[in-house]
Amino acid sequence: MVPARRRVETKRPVIMADPYIFDQLLGIANAALSSPLFIAIVSTAIAAFAGTWGAQLLAERTARRKEILAEIRGVNAALSFAFNIANTYIATKKQLTKELVAGYKQQRADREAHDMRVNALVIPANTTFTYQLVLQTILPPYSPIAELQKILLDRINPSGRALLLLTPLMQSIEGFADAAAQRNAWIDEVKKMPENNDAMKACLYFGTPFAPGRVDDRYPNLMDAIERYNDSCIGFSVQLVNVLREHGEKMAAEYGKDAPKISKPDFKMAGDLIPDLKEYARWVEEPKA
């Protein structure tokens, strides 16, 4: 049997710190911390850090003010274009389409009343209905919609409501131009018809049957479209002006003192030429949380 080996434990020597040496080291450290050289080094480091941090904050604030200034200038440019578009179609309505559409609607109503009297045997069936065939063409006005689109997409960062209004405004301008072009083409067709074909012209003008089961109602539909698109061009551009002005005022408030003035287009002189803006309210309502 092999005897078991005895475990030998080795004790590590305990090194005791010399109190005298510790006091000397502590004294040296305190002296270093209180020395003018150390204080100067620490103060310089703190000042350098504070200066760098302050400079960064100042640079960020200056850059932000430059961004806001550019935004405000872009908003004012967009406001001028939107105001121009609104005024253009307000003038078109005042000088042309309002009277043209109103006169046509009145003649349609008179024609319907005439037909009802004939059907009711109030007047003879061969009673002639007198009307005025208005063949005045419409030239779609120029509007800076391309310039407005470029500013809204490239130069400024407007609210989402402004971009939502841009699309239907562009569609309305295109729709007005297309309806006017089709009406002008219709006028050319009528002018080429024989002069003694008044009955057919009247049927085409009022959209009434010219033969059993045959109706050409292009003209009344085009007149309705011209009225609707003209009002939409006005309504959407006026709403866009309001939204852009609100955005610009927020930017000016953030900029603070010496902020550029925000343009404030005024439509008071337009009166009843501006359609009911409630019809376009859903395009500018803030989304509910």
User: What is the predicted pLDDT for the residue at 15?
Assistant: 44
The amino acid at 78: A
Locate 10 and state its tokens: 């080795």
Average pLDDT over residues 269-288: 82
Inter-residue contact 132 to 107 (CB < 8 Å): yes
* Cα–Cα dist 277/144, whole Å: 22
User: What is the predicted pLDDT for the residue at 80?
Assistant: 95
User: What is the predicted pLDDT for the residue at 276?
Assistant: 92
User: What is the predicted pLDDT for the residue at 287?
Assistant: 53
Q: Is the whole-model pTM more than 0.85? A: no
The 10 Å CB-count burial string (b at 16+, else e) for 141-171 is bebebeebbebbeeebebeebbebbbebbbe
% of the chain with per-residue pLDDT over 90: 54
User: What is the predicted pLDDT for the residue at 169?
Assistant: 97
The separation between CA 116 and the C-alpha centre of its own chain, rounded to angstroms, equals 47
Average pLDDT over residues 246-250: 91
% of the chain with per-residue pLDDT over 70: 76
User: Is it the case that residue 131 has pLDDT exceeding 60?
Assistant: yes
Question: Is residue 282 very low, low, confident or very high in pLDDT (cuts 50, 70, 90)?
Answer: confident
Question: Is residue 213 very low, low, confident or very high in pLDDT (cuts 50, 70, 90)?
Answer: confident
Q: What is the pLDDT of residues 134-180, one digit of tens each?
A: 999 999 999 999 999 999 988 777 667 888 899 999 999 999 999 99
Q: Among the residues of the chain, which ranges form H helices?
A: 19-33, 36-92, 98-119, 145-150, 160-191, 198-206, 218-255
User: What is the predicted pLDDT for the residue at 239?
Assistant: 95
